[in-house]
Every structure is written in structure tokens, then in C-alpha cells.
Amino acid sequence: MDKNAGIRRVSGAGLYKIGRKICMLICHVGGLSGYIVMYLSGQEWNSYWGYFFGQILNGLFSGAFTIVSAYIGETMSKEEAEGPQGIIYFQ
């Protein structure tokens, strides 16, 4: 039994309940807020802890790549998905 199966099941349930577009928007807005916190911690607050918190916030919302890969894999056939998947993975 795969030890990460439960994690995948929970994230997959979220995708199917609220939709991929909303999940991707949440990931991008969370990542943007992490970059804003990192910027402010360097320019305004002069705080390493703020930068550290921004990195953690950015890491928590870094799931958009997985969502896009799943979307391409499910909507296209194997032959069609090879081009976009290769572009996404090797950029």
C-alpha cells in the first residue's frame, strides 16, 4: 500500500468538490501573498523571520503545478498530452 495514497485522496477530493480553476486561483493568490510578505520583510520590516514566513507561505500554496499536470493528463489523450506535458516538465 502506498503511504501517500491518503494525501492524494484528500487533495483529489478538493479538486473534484470545488473545481480546478478555484484551486489554481487559491494557489496563485497564496503564492503572490508569500512573495509580497518576502518583499515587505526585506524592504520595509528588515526581518529575517518575515522572509522565512513568506517562504513557508509560498511553499504551502505551491500546488498549482500538480493541478495543471492532472488537468492536462485527464483532458487530453496520451499522444496529445506528450507535447504540453514535456513543455511543462522541462522549462
Cell matching residue 59:
511553499
For the stretch 74-90, pLDDT in tens is 777 777 767 666 665 54
At residue 25, the pLDDT reads 82
Q: What pTM, to 2 d.p., does this model score? A: 0.61
Report the 10 Å Cβ neighbour count for 77. 7
Q: Domain ranges in the chain?
A: 5-89
At residue 37, the pLDDT reads 93
Give pLDDT < 50 ranges for the chain.
1-10, 90
